[in-house]
């Protein structure tokens, strides 16, 4: 074995690249794809002591594992790196030059808006095949029909089936990275064969959320079927690979299927969303100490995001999940971005979004703080919808004039004071999540409840 280049510190997460049956009682057997945590290095630097997900410990060969890294190429990751969007026939032919048998790309059709064109290099020239969109399906010859472009490309990669040649080599759009390659490289690709989908627990416009089993562990799985939607979720998954905190829902891995399906596998949160948890149990079951604990859990997650320069943008009780042992964890990273980026505001939840984010599309940790104040109000009102009895169109004008919601019934004054700090109209005057956590800690320590 060659000496390893760098020694990974304890706590490093890694993935087995190969099977390792183990040769002594001290060894930890590995199956390709196992996720492990490094405990420390042994006397021989070619061997680590590690622990697997069920808590078993032992020694492993260093060159059988790869370090799990955060996926950094967020905006450039593509499920369809061969898709070039709106380019002309001439541009496509230039991109496929010099000619190479089976070199291909897909573009939007310039002559038939809404349709696509498959451009393939064969015997020194480029053939252009119109992809017709018919009854919700895609076809070239009106014999074979496909749900999406990924299925179509996969089919013709295996068999020419009437084309001049089978598709051999994709011409990647400049600046894009194939998502599957990047998730594999960084250690986040899971094996579809080892995932059992058991039952649907939620339906969204993007697809289903299901309970599944991955290697004997109960997991939650977002199943995204449509390639265009899946592309948006790739960005969410890449953000999740960079985060590690006990109060954030943990990503376990990603499965990209050639046919266009995407599975995002996360830890399973048995008690569902915080808003449903609060509504279904109410104040007869949930005491003040539990409400404060949920408030602290979310605040600690947000303090972590703040420290790592991430803005959530959609913080609300519906996007916080509750584990079997009553830990609240922030989820739904669909809108989460690096702190500097802006975003279209058309789909934003008005009652949870800060005035400056709605007005000027300015998102920051401070706009998350505003949303956190609304979430606190949801917690202490046991899941009521914010701004009760105020028509939606009137919420923003009233808030901008300084209106603040009344304290929920039975909410400790000290907690209501925290909410009002979050709803300071001037973003710079709002507290940080670190300051909010310290404030809640004081309330907990003084037992104001």
Query: What order do you get walking across the sheet with 169-170 strand by strand?
Result: 145-146, 137-139, 125-134, 116-122, 103-108, 169-170
Between the alpha carbon of residue 235 and those of residues 172, 179, 226, 337, 343, the distances in Å are 19, 10, 15, 9, 14
Residues 51, 56, 61, 66, CA torsion sign: negative
Do β-strands 207-214 and 177-178 pair in parallel, antiparallel, or remain unpaired?
unpaired
By C-alpha distance, which of 99, 84, 110, 106 is closest to 174?
Answer: 84
By C-alpha distance, which of 138, 107, 101 is closest to 120?
Answer: 101
222 is an annotated ligand-binding site residue: yes
By C-alpha distance, which of 32, 33, 41 is closest to 12?
Answer: 41
Residues 5, 10, 11, 16, CA torsion sign: positive
User: How far, rounded to the nearest angstrom, does the alpha carbon of residue 274 sit from its chain's CA centroid?
Assistant: 19
Q: Any idea which residues carry the catalytic annotation?
A: 314
The per-residue b/e assignment along 135-171, b for 16 or more CB within 10 angstroms, e otherwise, is eeebbbeeebbbbbbbbbbbbbbeeeeebebbbeebb
Q: Is the peptide bond before 156 cis (omega within 30 degrees of 0)?
A: no
Do β-strands 103-108 and 116-122 pair in parallel, antiparallel, or remain unpaired?
antiparallel
Q: Which 3 state secondary structure label does DSSP give 88? A: coil
Give 222's strand partners.
Answer: 209, 264
- Contact assessment for residue 337 and residue 355, using Cβ atoms and an 8 Å cutoff: no
Do β-strands 195-204 and 207-214 pair in parallel, antiparallel, or remain unpaired?
antiparallel
Distance CA 184, CA 187 (A): 5
- Contact assessment for residue 121 and residue 102, using Cβ atoms and an 8 Å cutoff: yes
Q: Which 3 state secondary structure label does DSSP give 204? A: strand
- Contact assessment for residue 384 and residue 378, using Cβ atoms and an 8 Å cutoff: yes
Q: Where are the alpha helices (DSSP H) in 71-129?
A: 89-95
Annotated binding residues for ATP: 222
Annotated binding residues: 222
């Amino acid at each position: 074995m060659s000496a390893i280049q760098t020694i990974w510190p304890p706590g490093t997460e890694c993935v087995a690249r190969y099977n390792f049956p183990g040769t002594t009682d001290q060894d930890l057997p590995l199956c390709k794809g196992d996720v492990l945590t490094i405990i420390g290095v042994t006397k021989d630097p070619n061997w680590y002591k590690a622990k697997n997900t069920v808590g078993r410990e032992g020694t492993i060969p260093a060159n059988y594992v790869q370090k799990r890294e955060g996926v950094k190429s967020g905006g450039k990751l593509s499920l369809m790196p061969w898709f070039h969007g709106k380019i002309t026939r001439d541009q496509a032919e230039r991109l496929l030059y010099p000619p190479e048998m089976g070199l291909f790309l897909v573009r939007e059709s310039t002559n038939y808006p809404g349709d696509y064109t498959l451009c393939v290099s064969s015997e020194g020239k480029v053939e252009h095949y119109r992809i017709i969109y018919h009854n919700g399906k895609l076809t070239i010859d009106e014999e074979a029909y496909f749900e999406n472009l990924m299925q179509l490309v996969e089919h013709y990669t295996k068999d020419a089936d009437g084309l001049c040649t089978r598709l051999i080599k994709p011409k990647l759009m400049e600046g894009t990275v194939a998502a599957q390659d990047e998730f594999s490289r960084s250690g986040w690709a899971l094996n579809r064969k080892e995932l059992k989908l058991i039952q649907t627990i939620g339906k969204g416009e993007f697809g289903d959320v299901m309970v599944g089993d991955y290697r004997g562990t109960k997991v939650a799985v977002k199943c995204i079927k449509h390639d265009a939607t899946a592309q948006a979720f790739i960005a969410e998954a890449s953000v999740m690979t960079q985060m590690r905190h006990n109060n954030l829902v943990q990503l376990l891995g990603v499965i990209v299927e050639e046919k266009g399906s995407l599975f995002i596998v996360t830890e399973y949160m048995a008690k569902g969303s915080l808003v449903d948890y609060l509504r279904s149990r109410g104040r007869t079951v949930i005491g003040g100490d539990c409400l404060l604990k949920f408030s602290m859990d979310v605040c600690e997650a947000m303090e972590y995001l703040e420290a790592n320069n991430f803005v959530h943008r959609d913080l609300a009780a519906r996007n916080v999940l509750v584990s079997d042992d009553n830990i609240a964890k922030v989820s739904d990273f669909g809108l989460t971005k690096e702190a500097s980026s802006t975003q279209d505001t058309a789909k934003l939840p008005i009652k949870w979004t800060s005035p400056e984010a709605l007005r000027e599309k300015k998102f920051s940790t401070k706009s998350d703080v505003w949303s956190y104040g609304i979430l606190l109000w949801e917690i202490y009102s046991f899941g009521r919808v914010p701004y009760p009895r105020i028509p939606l169109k009137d919420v923003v004008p009233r808030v901008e004039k300084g209106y603040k919601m009344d304290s929920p019934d039975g909410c400790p004054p000290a907690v209501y004071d925290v909410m009002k700090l979050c709803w300071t109209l001037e973003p710079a005057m709002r507290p940080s999540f670190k300051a909010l956590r310290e404030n809640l800690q004081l309330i907990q320590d003084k037992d104001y409840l």
